[in-house]
């Protein structure tokens, strides 16, 4: 296994610079230019596991700063969708079943997803803000029927209290 202590970030390119300060600057600029439009953010799984392997890379604490970037966005008042993919692969899209979870509780072996599938989900979040707004979810894949209807991903990403309920008229 690679030794995380041998990794480094160039000056000015640490996760605090890119993910946290850079993310905040982008959200502020977008909010001003778009008058409050919908932001779709690609973050990462692993943000609930302090001092994980990714955080140890170059002592950059990337998961910590990604989590803080997410918190900033969620508290900004802007509509958002936060997609938190697991391990990224360079494989074709739409060949596996997409799996949604929260708070790193999805335990798949291996925990992977195609970059192309992440792009599909993010594109649909931009195109379907009414279905994807104010969602934050982990995204992985597993062998199974390919997920073709991305709106089902957004529905699965909702907590039970966010899901549509029938109204009873009396």
Distance in angstroms (rounded) separating the CA atoms of residues 147 and 157? 14
44 catalytic per annotation: yes
Q: Which of 43, 44, 114, 141 is labelled catalytic?
A: 44
Contact of 81 with 38, CB cutoff 8 Å:
yes
Distance in angstroms (rounded) separating the CA atoms of residues 87 and 138? 11
Distance in angstroms (rounded) separating the CA atoms of residues 137 and 162? 13
Distance in angstroms (rounded) separating the CA atoms of residues 77 and 123? 21
| Residues recognised as catalytic | 44
């Amino acid at each position: 296994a690679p030794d995380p202590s041998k990794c480094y970030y160039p000056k000015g390119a640490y996760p605090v610079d890119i993910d946290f300060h850079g993310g905040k600057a982008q959200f502020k600029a977008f909010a001003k230019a778009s008058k409050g439009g919908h932001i779709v953010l690609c973050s990462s799984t692993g943000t609930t596991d302090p001092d994980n392997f990714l955080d140890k890379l170059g002592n950059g604490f990337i998961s910590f700063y990604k989590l803080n970037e997410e918190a900033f966005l969620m508290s900004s008042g802007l509509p958002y969708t936060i997609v938190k993919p697991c391990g990224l692969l360079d494989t074709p899209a739409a060949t596996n079943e997409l799996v949604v979870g929260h708070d790193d509780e999805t335990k798949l072996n291996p925990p992977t997803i195609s970059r192309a599938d992440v792009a599909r989900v993010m594109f649909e979040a931009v195109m379907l803000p009414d279905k994807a707004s104010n969602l934050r979810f982990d995204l992985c894949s597993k062998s199974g029927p390919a997920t073709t209807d991305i709106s089902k991903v957004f529905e699965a990403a909702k907590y039970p209290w966010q899901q549509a309920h029938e109204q009873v008229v009396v």
